[in-house]
A = this chain, B = another copy of it.
Amino acid sequence: MTDATLPEQIALKLRRDILRGTLAPGDPIKERDNALDLGVSRTPLREAVRILAKEGLVLLRPSRSPVVADPSLKEVRDAVVVLQALETLSGELACREASDAEIAEIRALFERHHALSETAEGDALIELFEVDMAFHTAIARASHNPALAETHAAYLARMWRQRYLSAVQRRARERVRSQHENIVLGLEARDPARVGAEINAHLAALINNLTRLFEAREAGRDTTSNERDIE
């Protein structure tokens, strides 16, 4: 018996497919076909789809195939604003609640992210990005508020794809590194105001970055230097 329940496993697989682009935004997810493809029955696949729907990755429509979500700029921005509030709160609480070991772990993730960010190319970018996610998730967990950590993780997952596109850009890496470092320093000093301000700034920059990305995508395919073609 595996730790993860079957619907969770299916959800995980579908999530990766969605976020990597194998399942393009707008694609319908037909219960029967996908169930057959994965060799499972419709029931657990159905549950998996519900999980993804709750995460905001797929859209449920009454009496219609669920479709992979294709969030507008406003929707992404709205979500990041919430994420900003959640993560700022996490950081402030972590200053009070986190153990030294947890803060050390956060620093370790920062260092690893930094190292990877200098060399990573191609497929390694996914690892780079997963370390990035782990960094932010670790902060949320360090708040010692499970509900907060869970909601934070949900928002993070919801924007996996957008954040991925953003994190891949070379131009943003130096800024990200410096902001991450400031966050870590703030945590080590256990200075809530500083950590809060740094996280706020970090996510505000993310919003700008995503906005630019969206506008570039709207404009056309000419700007291929940073944006990798997924579809």
Contacts and interface: CB of A to CB of B under 8 A. Distances in A.
| Centre residue among A78, A82, A151 by max chain B CB count within 10 A | A82
Chain A contact surface mostly: helix
Given A75-B146, A78-B146, A82-B151, 10 more contacts: A2-B62, A47-B50, A78-B145, A78-B148, A82-B89, A82-B148, A85-B85, A85-B88, A85-B89, A147-B155
B89 A81 contact: yes
A82 B147 contact: yes
Copies of the protein in its oligomer: 2
Nearest to A158: B147
Nearest to A76: B147
A224 interface: no
Interface string A163-191: 00000000000000000000000000000
A66 to B, nearest CB: 13
Contacts of A145: 78, 81-82
A86 B82 contact: yes
Contacts of A79: 147
Interface residues of A, number: 24
A43 interface: yes
Contacts of A147: 56, 75, 78-79, 82, 155
A3 to B, nearest CB: 9
25 contacts: A2-B62, A43-B43, A47-B47, A47-B50, A54-B54, A56-B147, A75-B146, A75-B147, A78-B145, A78-B146, A78-B147, A78-B148, A81-B93, A81-B148, A82-B86, A82-B89, A82-B145, A82-B147, A82-B151, A85-B85, A85-B86, A85-B88, A85-B89, A147-B155, A151-B151
A119 interface: no
A5 interface: yes
Interface string A30-54: 0000000000000100010010001
A46 to B, nearest CB: 8
A146 B145 CA distance: 24
